[in-house]
Structure 1
Amino acid sequence: MVTGQKAVFYLVREEILPEAIKKTIKVKELLKRGEARTINEAVEKMELSRSAYYKYKDYVFPFYEASKEKIVTLALLLEHKPGVLSRVLNTIANERGSVLTINQGIPLQGVANATISLETADLAIDLEAMLDKLRMVDGVKRLEILGQA
């Protein structure tokens, strides 16, 4: 990337990535979790060259790291039952997410569309884990990320 150009990001499924990039991500995870004390130790465990690690390390990261300290907008399809939206909001609050906006449509045929924008800066867990928790809330029929800012 030329200096001054805006970075462009893509969301790519892991299975199409080259092995060197997958291993670079795993090396970073080993270091982060303390399962390797040095870069040398981590690259040896993953059978990756140091040069490949240094080539990719600043360009690959898990989705949840890209969403840190961001505003994320979620689209939800909720059953029209008492307490469903409340349980969703409590789940977000319990993980220290900060809800910025909530919009809910009128329930039709037993379900209602809702959008929630939240700030992720203080999340206690990564965004992926929180989304999994939200999907498990009784009454959440669908959950998608609409966008990030």
Structure 2
Amino acid sequence: MENEPKYYLVERALLPEVFQKVVRANAALKAGRVRTASEAAQSVGLSRSAYYKYKDGIRPFYEAAHDRIITFHLMLSDRPGVLSSILGLFARVGANLLTINQSIPMSGQAAVTIAARTEEMKCTVDALMQRAEALDGVLHIEVVASE
């Protein structure tokens, strides 16, 4: 249908400045650094009308991925408890694990793929990934699919 929204994944550096400012204004509101949309627009040097025009249509990729099934790929150190700490993190933030696949470790590393439903999560997908990367033994995490 013609009225259905279409989405594009665009590198941030290629976006016009107004879109980048809208993202920063939305982040300021979400973080509580400002209280109103007017304050958010003013804090990034954007007119209120421009902010209101784009505020609902521009958001970070991981925020748009909320309420979906996300597939993560992780590289973990082959040590006892590393996978357990990842699974514990997913449980603490409210991700509903659907599948877990781990390869046989090679050269001290194991590849793990986790598919999780995200609608009950208490944080964004981006925040989950940052917390996961901070865990001891997590070498890398990335999103490989989103449904």
Normalising by structure 2, we get a TM-score of 0.85
What letter is aligned with 1:3?
N
Q: How does 1:22-37 map to 2 (within 5 A)?
A: 22-37=20-35
- C-alpha change, 1:50 and 1:91, in structure 2 (3 Å) is same
- C-alpha change, 1:95 and 1:23, in structure 2 (3 Å) is same
What letter is aligned with 1:12?
E
> How far does the alpha carbon of each residue in 1:4-33 deviate from its partner, in whole angstroms, 9 at most, with x for none?
4x52230423x3322211222233334444
Question: Which residue does the alignment assign to 1:59?
Answer: 57
What letter is aligned with 2:6?
A
Classify the secondary structure of the residue corresponding to 1:68: coil
In the TM superposition, residue 35 of structure 1 has moved relative to its aligned partner by 4.5
Q: What is the aligned residue count?
A: 147
> How far does the alpha carbon of each residue in 1:30-50 deviate from its partner, in whole angstroms, 9 at most, with x for none?
444454444334333333223
Indicate conservation of the 8 Å contact 2:63/2:126, yes or no.
no
Question: Which residue does the alignment assign to 2:3?
Answer: 3
Q: How does 1:21-100 map to 2 (within 5 A)?
A: 21-100=19-98
Structure 1: tracts of 5 or more residues without a match: none
- C-alpha change, 1:122 and 1:11, in structure 2 (3 Å) is farther
Classify the secondary structure of the residue corresponding to 1:65: helix
What is the Cα-based RMSD across aligned positions, in Å? Answer: 2.2
Rounded Cα–Cα distance in structure 2 between residues aligned with 1:134 and 1:31: 25
What letter is aligned with 2:50?
A
Question: Which residue does the alignment assign to 2:106?
Answer: 108
Normalising by structure 1, we get a TM-score of 0.84
Q: Which stretches of structure 1, 4 residues or longer, exceed 6 Å deviation after superposition?
A: none
